[in-house]
Amino acid sequence: MSPWVYALFGTAFGFVLSRSGAADYDMIEGMFLFDRFQLYGILATAVALMAPGLWWLKRHGRTAFGQPLSLRPKPRHPGNVVGGFLFGIGWAITGMCPGPVLVNLGEGKVYALGALAGVLVGTALFGALYERLQQPLRLPALRVGTGDG
C-alpha cells in the first residue's frame, strides 16, 4: 500500500489525539490525579468498540483485499511490568505518550522536542542493552523482538 495511505491514517489519528485532550498536558495530569474522566472515557470507548470489531474481523479472517489477517499477540514477560511502569513514569512527567509526543510537536509545542530526543535516546539505549536485559527480564529471542507498540 502507498505510504500516503499510512500518512493519511497517521494524520487522522493525530488530529483526533490533538482535539480530544490525549495530547494535552493538563488532561493527562488530570487523568493520573483522578481529576478528569476524559482520557478514561476515550480509552474505554475505543476498547469497547474495537473489541467486537476485532472479534468479527478475526472470525472473518481476511482484510478488505482478501489477504489473510496477520495478527500475532504480543509476548508476555516480566518486561511488561517493569517497562510498563517506567513508561508510566515518563508519561506522567511529560504528559505525553508516544503518539502525542509527535502530535504536540506538530501543534507547535516546542518542549515536545525535548521529549522526542529523550524517547529516541531511550529507545536506542534499550536496544544497546537488549542482550544484557534479555535474561533477567526473560525477553524474547532477538529475531522476534519485544513485539510492536
Partner 1 sequence: MLILHHLTAMHWAVAGALLAAITWLLLWLTNQRLGISTGFENLCSLVVSTPYLRRGEITGSHGWRLPFLGGLVLGGLLSAWLAGGWAPIWDLGRFDTAIGWGPAGKLAWMFVGGLFIGVGTRMAGGCTSGHGIFGLSNLEPASWISTLSFMSGGILTANLIYRVALAS
- Contacts (CB under 8 A) with partner 1, residues 90-109: 90-99, 101-109
* 67 grid coordinates: 489477504
Binds partner 1 (CB under 8 A): choice among 77, 132, 135, 138:
77
Pick from 76, 87, 88, 91: which is nearest to 137 by CA? 76
Kindly report the backbone phi and psi dihedral angles of residue 53, in degrees, each rounded to the nearest multiple of 5, phi listed first: -60, -40
CB of 138 to partner 1, least distance (A): 12
59 touches partner 1 by CB under 8 A: no
46 touches partner 1 by CB under 8 A: yes
Binds partner 1 (CB under 8 A): choice among 59, 61, 116, 135:
116
Pick from 90, 88, 70: which is nearest to 148 by CA? 70
Tell me, residue by residue from 117 to 146, as one string, x for binding to partner 1 by CB under 8 A and - for no binding. xxxxxxxxxxxx-xx-x---x-x--xxxxx
DSSP 76-96: PSTHHHHHHHHHHHHHHHHS-
